[in-house]
Amino acid sequence: PVELNTQLHHRQEYKNPLRTCVTIMKLITNFVLLSSLLLPPHIDAFTHHRRNGPSVVFQSISLNQIQTRSHLSMVSSDKDIDSLGLTPQLETMTKAFSSIPDEKTRYKQLLYMANQLQPMDSSLMVPQNKVPGCLSTVYVDCTADENEDGEIVVNYVGDSDGLLTKGLIALLVRGLSGCTPEQIQKVNPEFISVAKITQSLTPGRNNGFLNMLAVMKAKAEQAIAKNDSSNDAADNTASSAESDVITTFEEIQDKPMYNEMMVSLLKLKPSKLDLIDESHQHAGHAGSKGWEESGESHFNLEIVSEAFSGMARVKRHQLIYLLLGETMSKIHALSISAKTKEEV
């Protein structure tokens, strides 16, 4: 809460209506900026109770509607912020924090952000995710994902057993998540001074903050490298799998039944396909005459395909019969060995 009377305690200001109005408008500007940038979206108004006085309610006011000399005083600080290479979210929060005139209010805002930080999975609280050189225990980790625009962005999670330190990690998690590694690497840690947050930090906590940002930058690079490696491995696996698939066969003259069966079996995208005509081994047996045009009657099939994954032996045979269709009625016998790669 902002105590309006803290900046109106001089009699001289009471005697000068113009100065009084300007001071009040500056307070309203700072308050609206803070409420619109830092507090939850659903909070569009707030109530300030003056000591021993009636309540004063401030409705949500557009900054474009407020023209005071406070805007002129912010021009130089805006230039400083522009040179810090901040992400859009960090720039917004830096401006909001720097507009708060009271150190105690900034401190409370950090504690508020700490309470809003999403909990971190305990499985991620491991030594490799621990930030060194902090007075409190701090953990941070991230993942690299593709956003709607096809860019690879980094999303962070973090936690700390110290409430103020947790507020700092919450500030960084919120400010850096959803950004590209290039954006994250450009962030100048001096923004913490421009935001006036350093006024609430001891030298030890300030060093801890610098370590947090450094670790998060390093984590972003590691996540991107890991993501690239995973994609390369997936591409290589897919390429390898595709290269193993048999797509053609050499036709045999005067063996129409064999050629017809091979065309059908290629639909299973096999990595191994051996179809052997054993008709000559059954000469003189019933059905050995086979198909009238070529005398093909008995075949032995060995096929390996991922299409059989999760299927029982009978179901695999039924699938092959279905693919061969009318061809099955033209031969006397078909011996089948149908497996997946894992079963070979």
End-to-end CA separation in angstroms for the chain:
73
Annotated catalytic, 21?
Answer: no
Q: Output DSSP code: residue 7.
A: G
- The structure tokens listed for 106 are 């900034």
Q: What is the maximum alpha-carbon separation in the chain?
A: 126
Residue 18's alpha-carbon distances to 12, 30, 58, in angstroms, are: 11, 19, 20
Q: What is the Cα–Cα distance from 186 to 59, expressed in whole angstroms?
A: 37
- The structure tokens listed for 16 are 């000068």
Q: What is the Cα–Cα distance from 10 to 14, expressed in whole angstroms?
A: 7
Runs of H (alpha helix) within 245-303 = 256-265
Please identify which residue in the block is written with the tokens 């039944």: 257
Q: What is the Cα–Cα distance from 95 to 61, expressed in whole angstroms?
A: 17
Annotated active-site residue in 21, 134, 142, 179: 134
Does residue 158 contact residue 146 with C-beta atoms inside 8 Å?
A: no
Q: Where does residue 24 rank: exposed (0-12), middle (13-18), buried (19+ CB within 10 A)?
A: middle
Regarding beta strands 333-339 and 298-304, do their DSSP bridges make them parallel or antiparallel, or are they unpaired? parallel
Active site residues: 134
